[in-house]
Amino acid sequence: MNTFDQILNRKESGSVKWDFMQQKLGLSETDLLPMWVSDYDFKAPQVVLDALQQRVEHGIFGYAERDDAYYQATMDWYQSQHDTHIEREWITTVHGVLPGLAMALQMLTEKGDGIVMQSPGYGSFRKIIEFNDRLVVENPLKETEGKYQLDFDHLESCFANGAKAMIFCNPHNPTGRVWSESEMIKVAELCELYQVWLLSDEIWGDLVVGDAQYYSALRLPKALTQRLIVATAASKTFGLSSLRISNFMIPDELLRARFIRRLDAHGMDVFNSLSMSAATIAYQECSGWLIDLKNYLRSNIAKLEQFIQTELPEVKFVVPQAGYLTWLDCRALKLTDTELEQKFVTAKLVPSMGIAFGKEGSGFVRLNLGCPSASLDIALMRLKKALS
Ligand SMILES: Cc1ncc(COP(=O)(O)O)c(C=O)c1O
């Protein structure tokens, strides 16, 4: 049996996705199948579990720092997986991508400053921008037949109008788009031209499932990296999100010194020994696991595609280039977002509603396919019930 086929009970495990639908989404119905929060219903790789077990058996959890193995594993991973060279000193470590992005915004911009993000775009970007009293400046993606492109003219006008920073999501959540080398370079050139800080969130970078090539901003020519911070993490890749660990790679020395000082200012210069063990072993030993996982995700995505073609032809779906989040265009059904949500709740399936990703997401839903194929079968039946 494929290990990813195993159905594990996540209820009462403190899972946001499974246990907190009432608190977070206001849904009190029973037997809901959650396909919203982007984490897997799979066990983490066995070697990661073994390393954690071993670390627990050691039994001492005093203050910890990142050791050589942690740095080396991280650098080797980017070199071998993404042909991306990282200098050891570029690596700063934060307790999650969102906390690090929020800290970078606080450090680099002032209250009231405009921060650019694409729309549709990850809702938590909006949250950290707004809750830090900055303004969301939307750069809507251009969509044709489900394919998304950056609107560079509009982006330039956002910068010309004074935006101070941009959070760029590569690969992109929720559309699964992998931005090309030339697109990345163009974004960075515009940032340089208008002196805009570029925060490139590359948490999805390991999860390319199509033919597109992920081009990390860390590969940009040096002249384009002076205002660059790149967020990466093993957490999304290997299902370790609650271990709260990410790396913020900062090639520019002065910018890096400012960021490290900012981390120190928050007392964030001590690291979680369990998270470090997990991230280290994952990068050292789990490239094979990742290949298997991506094959599994591809087959889940293909199953959804087939199902939609035959059972729900009104729904438009383009296979994501990266990730396991699928972005379903339900606009042809001519439902309001509230009606659409209600239909899903009645069918006992819980996607993320597209409207949560900005007004360009209205009429869409995002379904998380990081689940065993048998759970997907149930989800497909419920999807049909909701939408047909
Ligand atoms: C684009 C993106 N950035 C960041 C995060 C969250 O990262 P973290 O859990 O490390 O804060 C997510 C989670 O879904 C995400 O999709």
125 lines ligand 1 (CB under 6 A): no
Model pLDDT for residues 161-185, shown as the tens digit of each residue: 999 999 999 999 999 999 999 999 9
pLDDT band at 332 (very low <50, low <70, confident <90, very high): very high
Percent of the chain topping pLDDT 70: 100
Task: Give the position, in ligand 1's atom list, of the atom nearest the Cα of 204.
Answer: 1
DSSP 135-165: EEEEEEPEEETTEEE--HHHHHHHHHTT--E
Angle value at C-alpha 198, between 193 and 203, nearest 5 degrees: 150
Task: Give the position, in ligand 1's atom list, of the atom nearest the Cα of 244.
Answer: 10
Q: Give the pLDDT score at 6.
A: 97
Model pLDDT for residues 360-371, shown as the tens digit of each residue: 999 999 999 999
Q: What is the mean pLDDT of residues 45-64?
A: 98
Dist CA 345 CA 331 (whole Å): 18
Is the peptide bond between 372 and the residue preceding it cis, with omega within 30 degrees of 0? no
Task: Give the position, in ligand 1's atom list, of the atom nearest the Cα of 169.
Answer: 1
Atom 16, ligand 1: residue with shortest CA distance = 173
Q: Is 172 exposed, middle or buried (0-12, 13-18, 19+ CB in 10 A)?
A: buried
Beta bridge partners, 367, equal: 326
Whether 75 shows a pLDDT value over 90: the answer reads: yes
Model pLDDT for residues 333-354, shown as the tens digit of each residue: 999 999 999 999 999 999 999 9
Dist CA 330 CA 340 (whole Å): 8
Percent of the chain topping pLDDT 90: 98
Is residue 55 a contact partner of residue 274, using CB atoms and an 8 Å limit?
yes
Q: How far is the CA of 28 from the centre of ligand 1 (A)?
A: 26
Using DSSP bridges, classify how beta strands 364-368 and 325-329 pair: parallel, antiparallel or unpaired. antiparallel
Q: Give the pLDDT score at 79.
A: 98
52 lines ligand 1 (CB under 6 A): no
Which one-letter DSSP state was computed for residue 71? H
Whether 228 shows a pLDDT value over 90: the answer reads: yes
Task: Give the position, in ligand 1's atom list, of the atom nearest the Cα of 39.
Answer: 14
What are φ and ψ of residue 318, in 5° steps? -115, 130
Model pLDDT for residues 121-133, shown as the tens digit of each residue: 999 999 999 999 9
Q: How far is the CA of 97 from the centre of ligand 1 (A)?
A: 6
The pick from 169, 206, 236, 366 for probing ligand 1's pocket by mutation, whose C-beta has the most ligand atoms within 8 angstroms, reads 236
Q: How far is the CA of 224 from the centre of ligand 1 (A)?
A: 24
Range list of H helices, the chain: 16-19, 21-25, 46-58, 68-82, 97-108, 123-131, 152-160, 181-193, 235-238, 253-265, 273-285, 287-311, 337-346, 373-387
The pick from 97, 105, 235, 242 for probing ligand 1's pocket by mutation, whose C-beta has the most ligand atoms within 8 angstroms, reads 97
Q: How far is the CA of 231 from the centre of ligand 1 (A)?
A: 10
Whether 12 shows a pLDDT value over 90: the answer reads: yes
Q: How far is the CA of 9 from the centre of ligand 1 (A)?
A: 23
Q: How far is the CA of 241 from the centre of ligand 1 (A)?
A: 8
The pick from 39, 93, 98, 179 for probing ligand 1's pocket by mutation, whose C-beta has the most ligand atoms within 8 angstroms, reads 98
169 lines ligand 1 (CB under 6 A): yes
246 lines ligand 1 (CB under 6 A): yes
97 lines ligand 1 (CB under 6 A): yes
325 lines ligand 1 (CB under 6 A): no
Q: How far is the CA of 311 from the centre of ligand 1 (A)?
A: 32
Which residues are within 8 A (CB) of 313 and not within 5 positions of it... i.e. 6 or more apart? none
pLDDT band at 1 (very low <50, low <70, confident <90, very high): confident
Q: Give the pLDDT score at 188.
A: 98
Q: How far is the CA of 59 from the centre of ligand 1 (A)?
A: 30
Atom 13, ligand 1: residue with shortest CA distance = 38
pLDDT band at 295 (very low <50, low <70, confident <90, very high): very high
240 lines ligand 1 (CB under 6 A): no
Dist CA 322 CA 174 (whole Å): 10
Question: What separation, in Å, do the N-terminal and C-terminal C-alpha atoms of the chain show?
Answer: 33
